[in-house]
Chains A and B, each alone.
Chain A
Amino acid sequence: MGIYKHTAIHIYNSRKGLELQVEKENFRDQKENIKTKKERTELFSPKGRLTAFAAGLCCGLLGTGGGTVLILFLSEMIGKNGEEKKRLFATCAAVILSVSVFCYGMYLSFGRVGWGIDWRGIVGALLGGISGAFLLKKMPAKLLGRIFSALLIVGGGLMLYRSAGGKG
């Protein structure tokens, strides 16, 4: 009888231990879920709204840069979770896409762009975008980011030089 009691207590303790282990893991998952939910709720906060407004302002005024503004400020709200960051980047791209559609409509209705479409540019853009998505797997984005940043500085400098009356 003693052996059975000892075994029963052992089984009970093992099961209890297992239950506690499962409870601990569930609690940790819940904590993670709450943290993720809280981070995503931050997007709907006044700071999120202001960031989106500023990104739209940038997009409408300068034609570009809205995505950078969105990611710059919104990624501070989202933690280091890689999956959440991926979702944020994808969501920001979709937001800027919809804002760009609206801006293009505005520019069309105010006559700042013509109704005619330059197909060469569009075909180039489409092929470039698709190639870029494939190239991402082969080329480090960091290197291309640096090249792109350098080109922006050079291009911006040339535009300033041209605005100041220089040839170019």
Chain B
Amino acid sequence: MLEALAAFLCALPVGMGVGGAGLYVIFLGLYEKMPQAQAQGANYLFFLFATAAGTVMNIRSGLIDKKAMTFLSFWGIFGALPGALLAFYLPSGVLRIFFAVFMIALGVYGIFRERRK
């Protein structure tokens, strides 16, 4: 039950468009004690369902630039390939440290961006 509640709370900001997928990885890592790569893998599925409703609405309202989406997706997948392979071969502890530092950097950036606005 707690996992459903955590997923719900982490998906709220995703639905609002301010992000939030990182929070779910943190929950899986800290509470469920999941290995980092496994938590990241589970996070993709979480993200898919959290953004599903918003994406459907965007497609229906014609907000998505299909040409740009296809182009950027191709390059994104091209980048995801080495990223994922690196994640598989890095030790879980090292990956967790990279992830934690990145989350802190994102959080600090988010706060300073709001202050600047």
Contact = CB atoms under 8 A, between A and B. Distances in A.
B12 A64 contact: no
A70 B72 contact: yes
A157 interface: yes
18 contacts: A43-B68, A56-B76, A60-B85, A64-B40, A87-B65, A90-B64, A93-B51, A96-B47, A100-B48, A104-B48, A112-B37, A117-B45, A121-B3, A124-B5, A127-B11, A132-B14, A156-B99, A162-B29
Interface of B: 1, 3-27, 29-30, 37-55, 57-59, 63-65, 68-69, 71-88, 93, 95-104, 106-111, 114, 117
- Secondary structure at chain B's binding surface: helix, strand, loop or mixed? helix
B108 A153 contact: yes
Contact of A91 (B43, B47, B64, B82): B64
A103 B87 CA distance: 11
B75 A97 contact: no
Contacts of A62: 40, 83, 87, 95, 98-99, 102
Contact of B83 (A58, A86, A124): A58
- Secondary structure at chain A's binding surface: helix, strand, loop or mixed? helix
B55 A97 contact: yes
A163 B25 contact: no
Contact of A124 (B11, B47, B81, B95): B11
B63 A90 contact: yes
